A and B are shown apart, each in its own frame.
Chain A
Amino acid sequence: MRPIPLHVALTFDENYWAPAYAVMRSICLASRRPADLVFHLIHTGLDARRRDQLDAIATEFSVATHHTDLTTHPAYRAFVDELPIGKPFTPIIYARLLLDRLLPPDVERVIYIDSDTFVRGPIEYLAELDLAGKPIAAVLDPGRHKLMLGRDFRQNGDLFDFHFAYFNSGMMVIDRKVFGIADLPGQTRRMYESGLLARLQYDQAVLNLVFKDNWLPLDFRWNLICPLPAHEVLEPQLLHYTGHRKPWNLLSGVAFSSAYRHTMTNAVFYEFWRERMRRRLLHPFARLIGRG
């Protein structure tokens, strides 16, 4: 019998090509079934060179990669054209809400992962998990109270209460069928029309409101938020570099910063660093001539 494929989805824009590469490579390195991995790379367009760099993972580990270019995807275009674009709701943010419609039809279970993560545990553990009929398995967000309730823990008191079990959406194990039934695009549209969307923090809040009390909590080590060196002894399985400290910075101060660089590979790490430096230096000039 053919083993069940391990579907992993990443959504990112061109600025995150190298972190996406690092996440993919970390998954391949930590998996005992790399040959069963299928990466669904959902992005807002990549040039041929970046695409080739990501596809190099397929050559190194004999995995499959499947690209979805959102700029030409009709369902995605139809969805975002009706919604506001701007911080915090950047175009790529909406992709997560449309995940079930962006994947090939044969995908039943998918593991969605943010690109600022680093996987150290075998991803098949998540792929084989019993979701007990829930649409999602995820990890409770330790910083949830401020995210939910806002300023002075009062601002959004009508939407969330202190005890609301609010997950971090940086890693979600998704049952595609049950996830799809929730009709996230329709719900998001209605939230926008009622003015609710403007009060929410990213799509994470949308997901939490829609899947309220309908998700399976996982051990915090499968999405360890804001990982610091002190966390290394806890043997986290998936590190999520939320906040300002990112492992691709030269002096990051995060957990497993050196392991991350070697997972990204030194060649990609320094290429990505040079690219960011170049962008930063050119940014003021680009703004001056109206292209920033």
Chain B
Amino acid sequence: MTSDTAIHIALTFDDGFWAPAFATMRSIALSSRRRGDLNFHLLHKHLSPAHRAELDAIPQEFPGITLHDYPIAEAQSFSDIKRGFVFKWRRLNDMVLARLIFDRLLPPTVTRLIYLDCDVMVRYPIEALWETDLGGRALGGVIDPNRQKVMLGRDFREKRGIFSFDEPYMNGGVLLIDLKRWAAADLMARTAEFRETGLLDRLYYDQDIINLVFRDDWLPLDPLWNLTNALPAHEVLEPFIVHYSGDRKPWSIIPGTAFFGNYRHVMTNEKYYAYMRFRWLRRFKALGRRLIFRSPRVRQA
């Protein structure tokens, strides 16, 4: 399915993120000098056929790029794995679970993987990240500048005993993964252990799990590979990957983020406005549902 020189990139998203996923892929394609080696592994849930068709514009514009689909909600293998995961955790949604079990969902030929959140824009050849020597570590990631609040929680007390203030903690939005080491770590089993010890409910999604499991086994990368909460002032730093991790998103009408003008042209104006209409329609529908189902007449009926 893939050549020896293939670059494997995974994105996990649902239908609500179809256009940001497109923009992330197109930014990689635009900035790469090895387009023919790019393999996108799309782990998606409830992605509508129309939106899936929109993503095909990537290989049409950049021949040689390959898209691999993993419609996780419909996949029997995913359901089987999920069934084995018997306990409940409010933060364990399908996207989080998919990330924890990359090694089971992707073909065994994929031994190295770049994972990217869908709210990123790549500005530098992704192959430079791909070729990074991990020095025997399981992962490469960027230290999270906002880590103390994430690690220690409210008043820097809530999660005391799990993380300490001074330890390095990576942001999970951009990861270079040695998939064999990922598989060997068995993140599902470790998550079950955290549940047994009562730790799980105090954790912040898979990012906390990854940081706990690979605590001393990850390589800190140049912060420019994952510039979080990217604002216009950051543009002069020439970041390699811009990560719109805060509340400000570049697809909003008045985003106030770094490179928001560029982002629109990476997403392409056609898809940018289609995505805007999609979001507005979704909001109207949600509002309509709320009005109908909460109105006294409907309740009486």
Contacts and interface: CB of A to CB of B under 8 A. Distances in A.
A234 B31 CA distance: 27
Given A146-B261, A163-B33, A153 B233 contact: no
Contacts of B266: 153
A162 B28 CA distance: 11
A224 B236 contact: yes
Contact of B265 (A153, A220, A224, A225): A153
B271 to A, nearest CB: 9
Interface centre among B237, B259, B262, B269 (most CB of A within 10 A): B262
Contacts of B123: 145
Interface string A57-71: 000000000000000
Interface size class of A (residues with CB under 8 A): 20 to 34
Contacts of B292: none
Interface in A275-291: none
A140 B238 contact: yes
B232 A162 contact: no
Contact of B232 (A146, A149, A151, A226): A226
Interface string B25-49: 0000011010000000000000000
B233 A162 contact: no
Interface size class of B (residues with CB under 8 A): 20 to 34
A162 B265 contact: no
A152 B23 CA distance: 11
Nearest to B261: A146
B236 A225 contact: yes
A84 interface: no
Contacts of A129: none
Given A142-B235, A220-B236, A151 B30 contact: no
B261 to A, nearest CB: 6
Contacts of A142: 235-236, 238
Interface string B225-254: 000000111011110000000000000000
Contacts of B265: 145-146, 149-153
A228 interface: yes
A220 B235 CA distance: 11
B262 A146 contact: yes
A143 B262 contact: yes
Contacts of A162: 30-31
A230 B229 CA distance: 14
B123 to A, nearest CB: 8
Interface centre among A152, A226, A230 (most CB of B within 10 A): A152
Given A152-B269, A162-B31, A145 B262 contact: yes
Q: Shortest 8 CB-CB distances between A and B: which pairs?
A: A230-B233, A142-B235, A152-B268, A228-B233, A162-B30, A146-B262, A153-B265, A152-B265
13 contacts: A142-B236, A142-B238, A143-B235, A145-B262, A146-B261, A146-B262, A149-B265, A152-B265, A152-B269, A163-B33, A220-B238, A228-B233, A230-B233
Interface of A: 140, 142-143, 145-146, 149-153, 162-163, 220, 224-226, 228, 230-231, 234
